[in-house]
Amino acid sequence: MDNTTPPDPVIELDHIRYAYPGEDPVLRDLSFTLNRGERTGLLAPNGSGKTTLFHVIVGLLPISGGTIRILGRNMESEKDFVWARKKAGLLFQDADDQLFSPTVIDDVAFGPLNMGKTREEALSVSRRVLSFLGLSEFENRITFKLSGGEKKLVSLATILSMEPEVLLLDEPLNGLDQATRTRLTGVLESIDASYIIISHDIDFLLDCTDTIYCLRDGKTEKDTTVHVHSHDHAHMMGHIPHQHK
Amino acid sequence: MLSEPFSIGNSVIHRIDPRHRILAAFLYSVVVAVLYQLQALALATAFSGLLVKTAGLDGKAVFRRLALVNGFVALFWLILPFTAKGDILFEAGPLTVYEAGVLMALQITLKSNAIIMAFISLVSTMSFSTLGYALRSLKLPHKLVFLFILTYRYIFVIEQEYRKIWRSVKVRGFSPATSIHCYKTYAYMIGMIFVRAAARADRVYRAMLCRGFNGRFHSLSDFPASGKNGLFLFIAIVCTVLLVSTEWYFHG
Ligand SMILES: Nc1ncnc2c1ncn2[C@@H]1O[C@H](COP(=O)(O)OP(=O)(O)OP(=O)(O)O)[C@@H](O)[C@H]1O
Ligand SMILES: [Mg+2]
C-alpha cells in the first residue's frame, strides 16, 4: 500500500500480558497496532483470548505487564480508561450483557447522557443512530422483548450513539440473518471509524476488513494465508480458513 | 440483560413525579414496619393491594415476585410458632404451637407483603436510571445512590437467573421428588443462581462502564410539576395517618 500520510495509531499494545487470576496467561507478550482508518479482522479458535483482548483494551481487565496507548495517550490509571472508553466503543459478545434499560431509546441515550449531553442532544443523536441502522420504529420497544438479532443491532446502536473513533466488535454477526448481515456490512462500509472485528466468518471479514489477524499462543499474527485469499466465493466449509491450489 | 417489566406502563402512578413516589413509598413502609395490630396490618395490606391495582400491573408477574419473598417468610413460619414461649395455642403430638409465635409470623407476613407491594407499585414502576436520577435530586449522596441502585438491581438479576436455571432443569425432564438426585440438583441450582447472578451483575456493570457511566444517573423523561403530584402525596399521608390511628385504636 502506498500510503503517503504517516500512520496515526489509534490503539497501540506493547508487549501486554494478561492472565485470569490463578490461571495460565491468556495473552502473553502481545503487541499490536491499529492505525486510523484501518479495518481489521481477528479470527481465532474458541477460547484463544479474543474477548479477553477486547476487555483488556478498554481496561475492564487489568494487564500485568506491557503498555496500552489509545489515541496516543498512555493508559495508566482507571481515569485514562474512563476517557478511552468514550473513544473506543466495545460491542459485547453477548448482547444480553449490553442492554440494561427498559426501552431501546433509554439504552441508546445512556452513553450520550453520561458524556454530558443534554436530554435533547442525547435524544437527537440516539434517534439519528437508530434511523441510520434502520431501527427507527424500535425506539419505544422493550429491550428484553427483542429477538436475539434485534438485540445485537440495538447494542450496536448504543455504541454508535457515543460517536466513538474506534469500534471493537465482538462477533457482531451472532444471530443475524442474511439480510441483516448485508445491512451490517453496508453500515460498516459507510462508517467513518477504524475497527477491529472478531468473527468466525471469513467471508464477512473479507468483505469488511483489509487485514485479518490471528491469535496464536497469546500473540497476534498477521495471517497472510488468509490475507492473499481475498476473492468472493462461497461453498461448503467455506468458513474454515483454507487455500485453493 | 435486566428486565424491568413494571417500569413500562402509563397508569396514574407511572405519571407521578418519581421523587414524590419515592417519598411516599419510604414514609409508608416506615410506618407499616412499626405497626403491630393485626387490624392495622390488614388495612395496610389492603392499601397496598389497591396500589398494585391502580398501577395496572400484570397480576401474575406481581404474584411471582411476592411468591419469591414469601418463600423466605415461610422460613419464619417453620420456626417462630414452635419456639416463641408463652401461651400455648394448641399441641399436636410432640409439637407445641405458641400463640405469640403464630402472631409474630402473621405480622411478618402481612408487613412484608404490604411493603413489597407498595414498593412494586411505587418504585418498580420507574426505570433504573430514573430511580437513580430521582434519588439524586432528593439530595442523597452519589455513593449512597449508587450502592442502593446496584443492590436493587441485584434482586432482579437473581430472580432472572433463578427462572432461567429452573427452565433449563425442567426441559431436561427434572421433576421434584425426595431423592438424593433431587436434593443434589437443588443444591447445584442454588449455587449456580448466585454464581451466575454475580457474574451477570459484573458484566452489566462493565457494559455501563464502557458507556461512560461514572456513578451519576440521568433521566430521559421529564416529570412536569402538576397538581396530581400534590394530591398523590396528600392521599399517601392520609393513608398513613389512617394506619397509625387504627394501630392506636386497637392498641387500647
Ligand atoms: N472469567 C474468567 N475466568 C477465568 N478464565 C476465563 C474467564 N473468561 C475466560 N477465561 C478463559 O480465558 C480463555 C480465553 O477466553 P476468551 O473468552 O477471551 O476466548 P475467545 O477467544 O473470545 O473465545 P470465543 O471464540 O469462544 O468467544 C479461555 O480459555 C477461557 O476459558
Ligand atoms: Mg469471545
A54: closest chain B residue by CA? B210
Q: Tell me the three cell numbers of residue A74.
A: 498512555
pLDDT at A243 > cutoff 80: no
Ligand of minimum distance to the alpha carbon of A43? 1
Query: Does residue B134 belong to any structural domain of this protein?
Result: no
Does residue B179 sit in the same domain as residue B203? Answer: yes
Does residue B154 sit in the same domain as residue B57? Answer: no
Count chain A–chain B contacts defined by CB atoms under 8 A. Answer: 86
Q: Which atom of ligand 1 is nearest to the CA of A200?
A: 25
Q: Which residues form the domain of B232? A: 18-126+222-251
CATH 3.40.50.300 fits A9-224, yes or no: yes
- A106: nearest CB among B3, B127, B222: B127
| DSSP-assigned beta bridge partners for residue A18 | A27
Q: pLDDT digit string (tens) for A82-99?
A: 999 999 999 999 888 888
Q: What's the whole-number average pLDDT of chain B? A: 84
Q: Tell me the three cell numbers of residue B43.
A: 388495612
CA A18, CA A28: separation in Å to the nearest integer?
6
| Reported ipTM | 0.74
* Torsion-angle region of A59 (φ positive above 0: left; ψ -120 to 50: alpha; else: beta): left
Q: Atom 5 (ligand 1): residue with closest C-alpha?
A: A20
The shortest C-alpha distance from B55 to chain A (Å) reads: 17
Enumerate the domain spans of chain A: 9-224
| DSSP-assigned beta bridge partners for residue B101 | none
Query: Does residue B72 belong to any structural domain of this protein?
Result: yes
- Which residues are CB-contacts of B67 (< 8 A; sequence separation ≥ 6)? none
Contact A204, A185 (CB under 8 A): yes
Taking residues A110-132, report their average pLDDT: 92
Task: Establish whether residue A46 lines the binding site of ligand 1, counting it when its CB lies within 6 angstroms of any ligand atom.
Answer: yes
- For residue B9, count CB atoms less than 10 angstroms from its CB and return exposed for 0-12, middle for 13-18, buried for 19 or more: middle
Count how many domains chain B has. 2
Segments in chain A forming alpha helices (H): 50-57, 78-85, 95-98, 104-114, 119-132, 148-160, 178-190, 202-208, 224-228
The shortest C-alpha distance from A178 to chain B (Å) reads: 25
Q: pLDDT digit string (tens) for B46-99?
A: 999 999 999 988 888 888 888 888 988 888 898 888 887 788 888 888 888 888
Ligand of minimum distance to the alpha carbon of A20? 1
Q: Do the Cβ atoms of B1 and A102 come within 8 Å?
A: no
Interface test with A, best of B153, B210, B223 (most A CBs within 10 A): B210
Does residue B151 sit in the same domain as residue B176? Answer: yes
- What count of other Cβ atoms lies within 10 Å of the Cβ of residue B24? 22
- Which residues are CB-contacts of A185 (< 8 A; sequence separation ≥ 6)? A204, A207, A208
Q: Do the Cβ atoms of B206 and A113 come within 8 Å?
A: no
